[in-house]
Amino acid sequence: MQEWWEGPELRDDQVPCRYVAAGEWPNARLQVDAPLSAHYGQEVARRLKAAMDQQRISQRTLARLCAVAQATVSRILRGDVLPDLGTLAKLEAVLGIDIYPTGLYRRTPSPTTPDDSRH
């Protein structure tokens, strides 16, 4: 049985910030039909921003400590890119927090009701 997030239409996802319906990224309301990747990108950006604010660490400093480009940190925060696993691992290790929202798919409503005839 195919789940709603496994359909072939999800292969052409846009960058997360493209799915903002109202408000400002990363606290915006996403479009009803936003793919799961947009929800993950939004939650990663929220957690990253919160950790940086709490620890009073700048993008430049975080980037240096993680050995990634400052532009990469900026693009993650703006929702212009989904970070790769290596970058996520570095961010989590340096900040000492979980950034990846494990299990978010369980709490994210389906954008549409799956068509049972396809199963």
pLDDT at residue 59 in the model: 98
For the chain, the domain total comes to: 1
In a domain, 107, yes or no: no
pLDDT tens per residue, range 81-94: 999 999 999 999 99
For the stretch 21-46, pLDDT in tens is 999 999 999 999 899 899 999 999 99
Q: Is there a domain that residue 23 lies in?
A: yes
For the CA atoms of 16, 99, 74, 86, the dihedral, rounded to the nearest 10 degrees, stands at -100
Task: Looking at the chain, list the stretches that DSSP marks H as alpha helix, in order from N- to C-terminal side.
Answer: 36-55, 59-66, 70-78, 85-95, 104-107
Q: Are 46 and 26 in contact (CB under 8 A)?
A: yes
Residue 39: CA atoms inside 13 Å, Cβ hemisphere, count?
19
Please report, for the domain that includes residue 42, its CATH number. 1.10.260.40
Residue 98 has pLDDT above 50, yes or no: yes
- Mean pLDDT (whole number) for 63-79: 97
User: Is residue 32 domain-resident?
Assistant: yes
Asked whether residue 117 is assigned to any structural domain, the reply reads no
Q: pTM here?
A: 0.81
Rg (CA), the chain: 16
Domain for residue 72, yes or no? yes
| Structural domain boundaries, residue 46 | 13-97
Answer whether residue 115 is part of any domain: no
